[in-house]
Structure 1
Amino acid sequence: MGVLAACTRDHDVPDAETTAGGPVAQCDSRLDQAFTAWARAGFSGSIAISTGGRFDCLAAYGSADDATNTPNTVDTVFDIGSVTKAFTAATILDLVEEGKVALDDPVGRLLPELTGAVAGVTVRQLLLHTSGLNGTPGSDHEPLDRDAALAAIADLDLAFPSGTGHLYANAGYTLLALVIEKVSGASYREYTTSRILRLPDGRVAGGFWDGTPAAPGPRAVGYLDGGTTGGSGDFAGPHWAMDGSGGLAMTTYDLAAWTHALFTGQLVAPESVEAVSAPGHDLGDGRSETPGWVASDASVLGVPFLATAGGDGQIGHNAVVAWGPERRRVVAMASNKPGVSAEDLLATVGPALLAGEPLPTPSPPPAGAGPAATVGKYRLDGGGSYDVTAAGNQITVAATGVDAVTALFPPAGRVSRDEFRAHDERVLALLDGRTREGRRERGSLEEDLGPIRGVTLAGTVFQDGEVRTYVTLVADSGPITGWYAVNAEGGVEAAEVPTGHPTLKLVPAGGDRYRPDDPTGTGPNVTVEFRDGRMTVSGPAGTTVADLAG
């Protein structure tokens, strides 16, 4: 799957029509028709696609700011989240070329002030998430300076002996950023901006969402589930809770141009391109971890490709970029609303895009206003409930209680009911303080909420590509709902406390029935029927009936 830079005759930067103000929107009419259909189905964001160094599509859809009726454009800037790791990996490989770092260097040799078991892990293991590091140095927007980040990472457990397993770890890439700063003699942000963000034509591909150097250009407002807006980029820092693992921001035009430059050997040497492109650590199912990317063979989507994705649940953005070496095609997408995320859209249209075939489009819901579902609270015999609200022909159902959540959100995709149960146990172990990280998390919660008298499960869902277990925390101020996503070793990957109850938007499916408003087909497989004061939820495990409260 390697990409040999010496064999390409690509342009330095993918061609696009530009003006003094930047790139001009342009898109093959067939692609634009398909993406317009996806925009009607809920996609809001920007798309950049190039093939062999020429752009096939630069387009934007939906709203960048509902309050001001500002549309997304090809100049709109998005937070790219964990896609930042691809840039950090490229920076490390650049330093390897200069002889300042070796892939098999123990990180403690490069950072003598680092203590603990993590000091023995190698740069290569950090790049491939095989170090065994479990956890994060801090929550995303927690003020964390360099010394505090080093101390927090030194205090993290190794889930397994380094090099013997795989565990995705944000802390590993934060540690790589600390290495970059140490060996380059410049700050991580300065070095990344001057060396790796700079494109072959001299432009700089974006910048940072929070702090400086900031990504220039108009920014999309991020919208979270429930309609609230995310962070606007005013977090003052220090930013070491995210530097290296997240935090970069740019347009999809710049993201596509940078990806093209990377894989065609215009940012790093051919040996480094090969290190990024070749399978690194086998993940199974035709996928393997490479530095900053995941490589997939032809068994996954029909053609080999590399991809990386990221999102920030506190900002409300989602970004994904894929490189198809056979056609030298780049697909970069970013979104700012949860209806159809960039990742879900690429998962749906990616096989056709990478193969150069016509794109699938969503099926519209049945015409008409749909049945008049009775809004209100529906109660289950087991104690759970559904709160149903309506707007036009769309209804929103909020689930409270394990029985209600279990019926409305059955496992989706490759996730099984057993995996839900195992995840529940890991979350309870965390919040009961049965692990070292759990004791730290419990202490952090009690700093914010006061003493926690109890923790009960409130249901588990599969959402945005991760399993999330909802819990009810009993504090002096009353019950507080939150959710946790933890990895197989019990480390926190994401969390939101406090938060609302899990909700599902539904659209008419004919007759008295509704189905999820889920054009990509990645959500729960359920049908909801309203009749005679009853709400019936049908799914893979059977039916659940709730009665309208009097």
Structure 2
Amino acid sequence: MKRILAVLGVLAAPAALAGCVPEGGPADAAAPGAPPCEAEFGEAFGAWADAGFSGSVALSTGGRFDCLAAYGTADPESGRQNTPDTVFAIGSVSKSFTAAAVLGLAEEGALSLDDPAGGILPELDGPAAEATVEQLLLHTGGLTGSHGEDREPLDREQAIAAIGRLERAFEPGTDFLYSNGGYTLLALIIDEVAEAGYREHMAAEVLPLPGGGSAGGFWDGEPAAPGPRAVGRLDGGGTGAAGDFAGPHWALSGGDLAMTMEQLAAWTHALFTGAAAVPGPVEGSGAPRFEHGDGTAEVPGWAALDETVYGAPVLMSAGGGGGTGQDAVAVWLPETERAVAVASNGPEVTAEELLEAVGPALLAGEAPPVPERPADADPAELAAAEGSYALGGDGAFEVRADGGGLTVAASGPDAVAALFPLPAEFDAGDAAAHEKRVRALLDGASREGREERAALESDFGEIAEVEIDGTLVQDGELRTYVVLGTGEGEVGMWYALDRQGGIAAAEGPVDPPSLRLVPSGEGRYRPDDPTGTGPRVSVAFEDGRMTVSGPSGSATAGPAD
């Protein structure tokens, strides 16, 4: 369950998504009674659907919906299409709801934002007990590490014990470090002080919408979000978690709500205009903030930008992952009382990527750009490119034809660096530092590292060797791939660690990182990335050799022996 800041402020244009209702067809649907959209907008977003966007969009201004639309397939197996009534897992956008619940309880006097967590939960031990409710809301409690895997059956007592074992990266209140465990601790606090318990309190006091109805429910367990559900598709193939996890659900308390995008946009509008049953972090309301010093700030459950960055205040919450194969974004524009909610259920074009791609044009008041179409593929040319290629240094590529393009897998630090050059916000020093943290983790330098190594050896046998296979950036985070030499053979993993060495995300066993390429003309290939947010590389094949060109130069690999 992640929070992305890359697309903050994307939707400040007055006419932003006013034309997102598609014109119809088998892959898209509009809400009955939704106003028609200008043709150029409908055509543009239809092109994004053709490029792979599958999901739902909702836009309201002043509480009135301008646009409700859906694209793509909700369930590939049955062929059921996404509609505005399709329910999506919203991941860490759920934290916005948890934060609102806490602010509501504080307003009622059931707790104080200055209360230390240990004062509310006497059984809580460790550094987490010293963090105040306000610090947990703002991710300034200093907690590092993970209290449990998504969909791990973790009961209340086990969750409190696991959070009590989390280490502290800094003195509470002095810095920022995003923490899923901190928000699960807030859910436990709600469970303690609310008469009905966490889930029942959320359903009865937080999710209800003005005028009747409710903003969904939970993806897993009860009270469940009603309605037809999207089936998520994962990067490596297969489908995401279906919402049938029986629990106990305390490993999921930071992000397991689900709803339609219409419901999410309606709740967002109600929260920031004071119409919701719980208070929101409205400017001037006295809600706490943590200033990052770069024009962004943290408010409970949301990230905020002031007017010096984009010309108008913007608040945003985003989330995804957690094995559901779905992503969601909620945006609030205070000056125009505009609420935007977008969800996706496929990896080709996620909700965040779509907003990032169309944002600059929307900010300029222009129609969204359409994705670049790949050139026609020559099957003979694709077949000729297949094979194994070795770099002169430490790295190799495996190339195979894949429909109308090629899929290239990279093994070894040099090959990974060539195929996945770091974006501008990261440099080689960042990657090297991340790799050092990953090695320290797997060497058992911390409590979390010792637990991780023990879990790996329980699954795969004794670890005799840890080999760094390269570092890249995906979903805005550094990921270091490793190959473990174990009793059961080589096992591939990747790790994304926070700057204190705590596990932010991890996955394994995994194959080496791969990139799908499509023809760009004149015998060259580019990433199959319609949003333009992926690696900036170009690949050519000539005389049995493969050349990868990127911002820092070119690397040529010859046929492997």
For the criterion TM > 0.5, the same-fold answer is yes
Structure 1: distance between partners of 2:284 and 2:103: 8
State which drifts further: 385-394 or 422-431. Answer: 385-394
Q: Is contact 1:79-1:317 (8 Å) kept?
A: yes
**Contact 1:31-1:57 within 8 A present in 2 as well:** no
Of residues 500, 510, 532 in structure 1, which corresponds to 2:521? 510
The aligned residue for residue 32 of structure 2 is: 24
Q: Is 1:148 aligned to residue 153 of structure 2?
A: no
Matching of residue 105 in structure 1 with residue 115 in structure 2: yes
Which one of the candidate residues 481, 484, 490 is aligned to 2:492?
481
Residue 235 (structure 1) aligned with residue 219 (structure 2): no
Deviation at 1:98, TM superposition (A): 0.7
Gaps of 5+ in 1: 1-15, 17-21
Instruction: Tell me if the contact between 2:104 and 2:279 (Cα under 8 Å) persists in the aligned partners.
Output: no
Q: CA deviation at 1:275?
A: 6.9
How far, CA to CA, are the matches of 1:276 and 1:68 in structure 2?
Answer: 48
Q: Aligned pairs, how many?
A: 529
CA pair 134-207 structure 1, distance change in 2 beyond 3 A:
same
Q: Deviations over 1:296-328 (max 9, x none)?
A: 124444432100111124221111111111111
Structure 1 residues 33, 202: closer, same or farther in 2, change over 3 A? Answer: same
What is the distance in 1 between the residues matched to 2:128 and 2:144? 10
Q: Secondary structure at the match of 1:509?
A: strand
**Structure 2 residue aligned with 1:4:** none
Aligned AA (1:504): L
What secondary structure, in the 3-state scheme, does the structure 1 residue paired with 2:167 have? coil
Aligned equivalent of 2:27:
none
| Alpha-carbon shift at residue 505 of structure 1 (Å) | 1.3
Which residue pairs with 2:177 in the alignment? 167
- Verify the 8 A CA contact 1:411 1:462 in the aligned structure 2: yes
Quick one: distance in 1 between partners of 2:359 and 2:306?
Answer: 14
Alpha-carbon shift at residue 268 of structure 1 (Å):
4.7
Provide closer, same or farther for how the CA distance between residues 524 and 371 of structure 1 changes in structure 2, counting only shifts above 3 A: farther
CA, structure 1 residues 531+313, in 2 after alignment: closer, same or farther (shift >3 Å)?
A: farther
Where in structure 2 are the equivalents of 1:201-280 lying within 5 Å? 201-243=211-253, 245-268=254-277, 272-274=281-283, 280=289
Partner SS for 1:67: coil
Distance 2:511 2:121 in 1: 42
Query: Using a 3 Å threshold, how does the CA distance of structure 1 residues 328 and 271 change in structure 2: closer, same or farther?
Result: closer
Partner of 2:196: 186
- 379-388 vs 399-408, which moves further: 379-388
Contact 1:223 1:337 in 2 (8 A): yes
- Alignment match, 1:332: 341
Shift of 1:25: 7.3
Give SS of 2:416's match: helix
Q: Deviations over 1:195-245 (max 9, x none)?
A: 1111112211111111111111122121111322221112111111111x1
Aligned counterpart in structure 2 of residue 304 of structure 1, from 309, 313, 318: 313
Structure 1 residue 357, shift from structure 2 partner: 4.3
Q: Is 1:398–2:409 an aligned residue pair?
A: yes
The alignment partner of 2:96 has SS state of helix
TM-score (norm 1): 0.92
Instruction: Give the distance between the partners of 1:306 and 1:357, measured in 2 at CA.
Output: 22
Residues 353, 89 of structure 1: alpha-carbon distance in 2 compared, 3 angstrom cutoff = farther
Aligned 8 A contact 1:301 1:351 in 2: no
Go from structure 1 to structure 2 and tell me whether the alpha carbon gap of 1:383 and 1:355 turns closer, same or farther (over 3 Å shift). closer
2:77 corresponding residue in structure 1: 67
For 1:27-42, list aligned pairs within 5 A. Answer: 28-29=37-38, 30-42=40-52
How far apart are 1:285 and its partner, in Å? Answer: 2.5
Residue number in structure 2 paired with 1:347: 356
How has the CA–CA distance of structure 1 residues 320 and 372 changed in structure 2, closer, same or farther, with 3 Å as cutoff? same
- Aligned partner of 1:523 in structure 2 is 534
Which runs of no fewer than 5 residues in structure 2 stay unpaired?
1-20, 22-29
Name 2:426's counterpart in structure 1: 415
Q: Pick from 57, 61, 65 the counterpart of residue 67 of structure 2.
A: 57
Aligned partner of residue 211 in structure 2, secondary structure: coil
Indicate the SS of the match to 1:179: helix
3-state SS of 2:77 partner: helix
Q: CA deviation at 1:45?
A: 0.9
CA contact (8 A) 1:516 1:526 kept: yes
Aligned residue number for residue 470 of structure 1: 481
Counterpart in the other structure of 2:386? 375
Q: Select the residue among 163, 167, 186 that pairs with 1:176.
A: 186
Q: Please report how far the alpha carbon of residue 421 of structure 1 lies from its aligned counterpart in structure 2 after TM superposition.
A: 1.1
Deviations 1:479-511 (A, max 9, x none): 000101000011111110111221111111110
1:33-54 deviation per Cα after TM superposition (whole angstroms, max 9, x unaligned): 2211111222111111111222
User: Secondary structure at 2:276's aligned position in 1?
Assistant: coil
Q: Give the fraction of aligned pairs with identical amino acids, expressed as a percent.
A: 57
Compute the displacement of 1:528 (Å).
Answer: 0.5
Distance verdict in 2 for CA 1:268–1:217, change over 3 Å: closer
Alignment of 1:70-109 (within 5 A): 70-109=80-119
Q: 1:148 to 1:313 in 2, by over 3 A?
A: closer
Distance 1:367 1:25 in 2: 40
